[in-house]
Homo-oligomer: A and B are copies of this chain.
C-alpha cells in the first residue's frame, strides 16, 4: 500500500472507502480559502472547506485587513479624495512592485478587475467608511478606509506610474482588521452552504491517473478520504514557520528573527510540488521593522554601519526595511533630530544607540570614523533645505532637514529588533488559479492561491501593504470559480 505523504499523491485506486464526497475541496480557511469557497459555491458547486485550526483565520486574521485596490479611474474612496487612478498606472505599479519576479498576466488582470473585486468584497458585507487618511501610516488607528500603503509617491515608482493611494482597509476601529474581514467572508461562505470542517489537516492529495480528485485529511487522528469531483484548491499559506523549508529555499531569512504566520508550514507548496507543480521565486520574502511609528520617525534618515544612506526613505516602510536588511553588518541606524524624535514603539525593539548636540557627536558616540555619518548628514541637510535629494530622490514633505539638535541615532538590529517577515515564493499558477507544472501546463484538478503561490506580491523589495490580501482574495476567487467549472 502506498504511503500517505505530502510529497506524492495517493492513488485513487487504493482508496478503500471514500469518507466524504464533494465537488470542490478547499484546504485552508484564511481569506484565500474563504474566497475560493464562496466563489465555488456561488457557481453551484458543493464545497468542503478545511482548516487545521479550530476555526477560520490563518495568517489573514493576523493582518490589518488592508487590500490593494485601484485602477479604472479609481474607487469611490479614491475619487472622493481626488485621486483618479488609471488602470495603466495601477498595472505599471504592480509590475514595478513585482520587480524581476512580476507575473505580468496577473498584474494586468488584477488591474483590470480590481474595482469589480472591490464591489464584490462589499457585496460580501465588507464595510468601508470611504474616507481618505493622508500621511505615512502602517494601518489606520481609526476606522478610515484609504491610505498610502506602498511606495507610490517615491522614486522610482512615481516616475513609472502616477501615484495614488490604494490601501483599502475594512472599516474597523484600530489595527487588526484582518480578523473581522475573515469573519465576514466566513459568514458569506456559511450562508452559501459551504461545509466547513475544522481541526482537519491535509496529509496527501489523491490522484486518479493524471488528475487530482481528492485529498486525505487527518481528522480526529484518523485519515479521512475526501473525494473532490471537481478539484482541490490549496489555500494553505506560505512556509515561514517551516525552518527546514526556509533553510532549503529562503535561507537569508535566518538573519532575522520574527516570522509572522499561523502554521504557515509550506504543506500546500509541498503537496503541489509532489503533484508535479512548479514552485517559483522561493527565495523571496517580505520583511519590515515598524520604524515609521510614531509617525515623526518617518522623516528620519537611514545609514548603514559605514555611515552611508542606502535608499530614499520615503519608500514604503517594508521596502526601506528590505534594503536595510541587505546592508553589510549587523544593524542600520535611523537618524532623527528633536523635531522628529519620539519614543520608538516598544514592540519594534529599536534602541537608542547614540545621541549628541551635533551630528559629529553622534558619529563619535557610534564609534564611526570622523567624516562619515556627519558628512552624510551635512550633505543631506544642505540639499534637503533646497528640496533636493541628489542621491536617492526622496520627495518632500518627508524630505526635510534634520538640523534641530540634539540628535539621536536609533538602532535597528537584525538580531534583536522586530524584523517581522513572511515568505512570498510558492506554486506557479495561471491567472485562473490552476497549479502549473514545469512545462507550464495545468496539473488537472489542482488549484491554488494566496501565499502558497507566487502572485502579486512576488518580490520582497517591492512589496506594498494590501498586496498579499489582494492576491489572496482575488486569486482565491479565481481558483474557486475555475475549480467549480471543471
Closest Cβ of chain B: how far from A387's Cβ, in Å?
14
Stretch from A106-114, A118-126, A277-285, A400-408 at the B interface: A277-285
Considering the complex, which residues of chain A in the window 239-285 have a beta carbon less than 8 Å from any beta carbon of chain B?
A: 248-249, 251-252, 254-255, 270, 273-274, 276, 278, 280-283
- Quick one: which of B5, B6, B391 contacts A369, CB cutoff 8 A? B391
A117 within 8 A of B: no
Looking at A100, A252, A326, A368, which has the most chain B CB atoms within 10 Å of its CB?
A100
Q: Which residues of B contact A369 (CB under 8 A)?
A: 379, 383, 390-391
B383-A274 in contact (CB<8A): no
A162 within 8 A of B: no
B276-A391 in contact (CB<8A): no
A358 within 8 A of B: no
Chain B residue nearest to A454 (CB atoms) is: B248
- Quick one: which of B248, B372, B390 contacts A391, CB cutoff 8 A? B372
B372-A390 in contact (CB<8A): yes
A307 to B309, CA, bound (A): 11
Total number of A residues with any Cβ neighbor in B under 8 Å:
42
A276-B7 in contact (CB<8A): yes
A379-B371 in contact (CB<8A): yes
Considering the complex, which residues of chain A in the window 1-58 have a beta carbon less than 8 Å from any beta carbon of chain B?
A: 5-8
Chain B residue nearest to A383 (CB atoms) is: B369
A251 to B459, CA, bound (A): 11
A428 to B245, CA, bound (A): 12
Closest Cβ of chain B: how far from A453's Cβ, in Å?
13
A248-B278 in contact (CB<8A): yes
Q: Which residues of B contact A372 (CB under 8 A)?
A: 379, 390-391
- Quick one: which of B100, B273, B375 contacts A252, CB cutoff 8 A? B100
B101-A270 in contact (CB<8A): no
Q: Which residues of B contact A428 (CB under 8 A)?
A: 248
Q: Given A369-B390, A372-B379, A372-B391, A439–B306 Cβ distance below 8 Å?
A: no
A372 to B309, CA, bound (A): 12
B100-A392 in contact (CB<8A): no
A77 to B163, CA, bound (A): 62
A437 within 8 A of B: yes
A308 within 8 A of B: yes
Q: Which residues of B contact A368 (CB under 8 A)?
A: 390
- Quick one: which of B6, B308, B383 contacts A308, CB cutoff 8 A? B308
A158 within 8 A of B: no
Q: Which residues of B contact A371 (CB under 8 A)?
A: 375, 379
Chain B residue nearest to A307 (CB atoms) is: B391
A438 within 8 A of B: yes
Chain B residue nearest to A389 (CB atoms) is: B369
Closest Cβ of chain B: how far from A73's Cβ, in Å?
32
Chain B residue nearest to A458 (CB atoms) is: B251
Closest Cβ of chain B: how far from A156's Cβ, in Å?
9
A100-B273 in contact (CB<8A): no
A379 to B369, CA, bound (A): 10
A270 to B368, CA, bound (A): 49
A141 to B108, CA, bound (A): 53
Q: Which residues of B contact A390 (CB under 8 A)?
A: 368-369, 372
Q: Which residues of B contact A276 (CB under 8 A)?
A: 7-8
A307 to B274, CA, bound (A): 48
Q: Given A274-B438, A390-B369, A438-B274, A100–B254 Cβ distance below 8 Å?
A: yes
B438-A273 in contact (CB<8A): yes
Closest Cβ of chain B: how far from A261's Cβ, in Å?
20
Closest Cβ of chain B: how far from A455's Cβ, in Å?
14
Chain B residue nearest to A253 (CB atoms) is: B100
Considering the complex, which residues of chain A in the window 276-319 have a beta carbon less than 8 Å from any beta carbon of chain B?
A: 276, 278, 280-283, 306-309, 311
A306-B383 in contact (CB<8A): no
Closest Cβ of chain B: how far from A245's Cβ, in Å?
9
A251-B437 in contact (CB<8A): no
B100-A251 in contact (CB<8A): yes
Closest Cβ of chain B: how far from A283's Cβ, in Å?
4
Q: Which residues of B contact A274 (CB under 8 A)?
A: 438
In order of increasing CB-CB distance, the 6 nearest A-B pairs are A369-B390, A100-B251, A306-B391, A283-B283, A248-B280, A7-B438
Please name 21 pairs of A and B residues whose Cβ atoms are closer than 8 Å in the assembled complex, sorted by A.
Answer: A7-B439, A8-B276, A100-B255, A101-B251, A248-B280, A248-B281, A248-B428, A249-B280, A282-B283, A306-B309, A306-B392, A307-B391, A308-B308, A308-B391, A326-B326, A328-B392, A368-B390, A369-B390, A371-B375, A371-B379, A372-B391
